[in-house]
């Protein structure tokens, strides 16, 4: 799969060509192993596609479904027409459709429906040409349409990041008389501006502010937020300056990972980290994007929280969130096994429309649908 000819390679699809070669020379594997490999393949595809599947379905689902139906119908009509033109048996035609569309789940349904080895043989003949055709199409279409894929990828990344303003940090000198001798809770700084105040310097003492921290003339505060929220905070507080306030010897800023499952989907405000641990979250990094730590932000597995506070408090927050990098790379086999079992059971459902027409998701269809929903 790593062999390239004029920039084209088969990549992981080369596995099936090697399998065809092995099968040609008489290598046999147990049917159960084949079914297990197929189920695992389909389940992992569903898990990978699931998170973006329903968002895409809502935004442009009608268009994608219409195009998909046109492709499938044109392929089926072509196959049926050629069946009568060349007098091909039905199991072979079904296998050819599955192979030409490189649909492994389709092969499983073809075998279950026809109970004939001819479906597998026709699939094996059509699949390599289907794979090569798709690879050539994917590689050549951008050149035909004169589209630079690297530029398109960068444009989409900029568009994606544009939905989440870049976060910055700066310090302010408290010069607005309207906030003198008032607490952060009284001026409602977080809700008014969207910025997070992470540190406060009063005279020569630096502290982690709480809702009851009182601002005095000449104090310095450090805040994190988008450019817009930082500008709004400047109007509320006073003069904006560049730089950072140093941390006290007992204070630290740490990056903590959320790896504890009972914390997933909890809102940041519900954890009340300031009251319970004396710590403040300044930003949340998710999938390479910095998110503003609003109280209603729902936390996800693998989120990286930048937390500032006293060392002992940070240890407590770390225990609360999990902060176990090993869990991010570990595979939990129980939900995988349970998902596959549920998929197999769902695939056995049979919906009858009449005495002669019934529909069942089948082994692979059931596993795929359950994987999409679970992920």
Please state, as a whole number, how many other Cβ atoms lie within 10 Å of the Cβ of residue 107: 24
Q: Give the model confidence (pLDDT) of 138-178 as tens digits.
A: 878 888 888 887 888 888 777 766 666 777 888 999 999 99
**Is residue 217 in some structural domain?**
yes
Q: 318, 256 in Cβ contact below 8 A? A: yes
Same domain, 49 and 135: yes
Q: How does DSSP classify residue 358?
A: E
Q: Which of 194, 226, 246 is the last residue of a domain?
A: 246
Same domain, 136 and 215: no
**Is residue 172 in some structural domain?**
yes
**Is residue 86 in some structural domain?**
yes
Contacts for 360 with CB less than 8 Å, ≥ 6 apart: 347, 348, 349, 350, 351
Q: 213, 280 in Cβ contact below 8 A? A: no
CA distances from residue 137 to 7, 15, 175 in whole angstroms, order as listed: 14, 20, 64
Q: Give the model confidence (pLDDT) of 30-65 as tens digits.
A: 888 888 888 898 898 888 877 767 767 777 778 888
Q: Which of 219, 246, 273 is the last residue of a domain?
A: 246
Contacts for 152 with CB less than 8 Å, ≥ 6 apart: none
**Is residue 154 in some structural domain?**
no
Same domain, 16 and 136: yes
- In the beta sheet, which residues pair with residue 251? 310
Residues of the chain with pLDDT under 50: none
What tokens were used for 204? 């020569």
**Is residue 153 in some structural domain?**
no
By CB atoms closer than 10 A (0-12, 13-18, 19+), residue 90 is middle
- pLDDT for position 160: 66
- Report the number of distinct structural domains present in the chain: 4
Same domain, 231 and 203: yes
**Is residue 66 in some structural domain?**
yes
* pTM reported for the whole predicted model: 0.56
Same domain, 272 and 288: yes
**Is residue 155 in some structural domain?**
no
Query: Which of helix, strand or coil describes residue 256?
Result: strand
Same domain, 102 and 224: no
Same domain, 326 and 337: no
Same domain, 174 and 267: no
- pLDDT for position 11: 78
- How many residues are present in the chain? 375
- In the beta sheet, which residues pair with residue 238? 174
- pLDDT for position 85: 93
CA distances from residue 144 to 130, 139, 141 in whole angstroms, order as listed: 20, 9, 5
- Provide the domain limits for residue 257: 250-330
Same domain, 341 and 307: no
Please state, as a whole number, how many other Cβ atoms lie within 10 Å of the Cβ of residue 13: 17
Same domain, 49 and 134: yes
| Residue 279: CATH number of its domain | 3.30.70.1450
Q: Which of 220, 246, 272 is the last residue of a domain?
A: 246
**Is residue 239 in some structural domain?**
yes
Same domain, 318 and 222: no
Same domain, 62 and 88: yes
């Amino acid at each position: 799969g790593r062999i390239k000819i004029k920039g084209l390679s088969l990549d992981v699809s080369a596995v099936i060509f090697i399998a065809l070669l092995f099968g040609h020379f008489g290598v046999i594997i147990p049917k159960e192993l084949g079914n297990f490999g197929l189920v695992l393949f389909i389940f992992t595809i569903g898990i990978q596609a699931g998170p973006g599947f329903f968002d895409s379905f809502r935004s442009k689902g009608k268009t994608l479904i219409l195009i998909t139906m046109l492709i499938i119908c044109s392929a089926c009509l072509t196959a049926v027409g050629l069946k009568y033109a060349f007098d091909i048996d039905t199991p072979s035609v079904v296998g050819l459709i599955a192979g030409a569309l490189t649909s492994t789940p389709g092969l499983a349904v073809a075998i279950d429906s026809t109970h004939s080895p001819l479906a597998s043989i026709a699939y094996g003949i059509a699949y390599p040409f289907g794979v090569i055709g798709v690879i050539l199409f994917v590689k050549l279409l951008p050149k035909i349409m004169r589209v630079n894929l690297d530029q398109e990828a960068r444009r989409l990344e900029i568009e994606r990041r544009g939905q989440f303003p870049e976060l910055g940090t700066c310090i302010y000198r408290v010069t607005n008389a309207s906030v003198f001798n008032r607490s952060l809770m009284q001026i409602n700084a977080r809700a008014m501006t969207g910025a997070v105040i992470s540190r406060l310097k009063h005279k020569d003492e630096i502290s982690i502010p709480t809702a009851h921290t009182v601002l005095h003339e000449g104090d310095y505060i450090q805040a994190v937020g988008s450019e817009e929220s930082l500008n709004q905070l400047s109007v509320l507080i006073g003069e904006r300056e560049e730089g950072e306030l140093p941390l006290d010897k007992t204070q630290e800023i740490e990056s903590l990972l959320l790896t504890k499952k009972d914390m997933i989907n909890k809102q940041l405000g519900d954890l009340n980290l300031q009251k319970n641990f004396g710590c403040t979250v300044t930003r949340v990094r998710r999938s390479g994007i910095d998110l503003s730590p609003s109280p209603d932000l729902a936390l996800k597995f693998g989120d990286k929280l930048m937390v500032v506070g006293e060392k002992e408090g940070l240890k407590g927050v770390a225990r609360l969130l999990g902060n176990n990098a090993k869990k991010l790379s570990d595979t939990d086999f129980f939900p995988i096994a349970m998902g596959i079992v549920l998929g197999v059971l769902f695939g056995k459902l049979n919906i009858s429309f009449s005495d002669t027409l019934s529909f069942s998701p089948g082994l692979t269809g059931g596993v795929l649908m359950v994987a999409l929903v679970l992920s």
